[in-house]
Amino acid sequence: MGNPRNPTGKGGFKPGQSGNPGGRPRQFTEVLELLRDDSQASIDRLKYLREHGKLDSVQAYCANALLDRAWGRPAQAVLQAGSTHSAAFVEFLESINGESRRLPPGNEKFGGDEYPKTDEAPGND
């Protein structure tokens, strides 16, 4: 049976042949080591901003960044085409799409594909 990633069997590497014979460049690993040496200072800064940041958004971002680094990002669901969930999701999106194109009464002249002209914009009567 053939390789599922290469159904034609053409191309690729011979058995025992490396796809990267030179390995990873030395400079890349040196840069990573330098950045990792500075990691603790970055974490300390995130902790400081989480506690003392003036804006709630800064505090929330820093808390999220720390959690992501400590525990990893949360798993995300992947919908596969043809599943019952994907069909329900598409139906949901279509229902939202229909709702979002309806404008409140009195705003009909601002709908459609064109942007309103400056003399038609609210407040320019």
pLDDT digits (tens, 9 = 90+) for 87-125: 777 777 777 766 555 555 555 555 554 545 545 445 544
pLDDT for the residue numbered 99: 58
Model pTM greater than 0.75? Answer: no
CA–CA separation, 18 and 13 (whole Å): 7
Cα angle, residue 68 at apex, residues 27 and 52 outer, rounded to 5°: 105
pLDDT for the residue numbered 22: 78
Q: Tens digits of per-residue pLDDT, 3-50?
A: 566 666 677 777 777 777 777 777 788 888 888 888 899 999 999 999
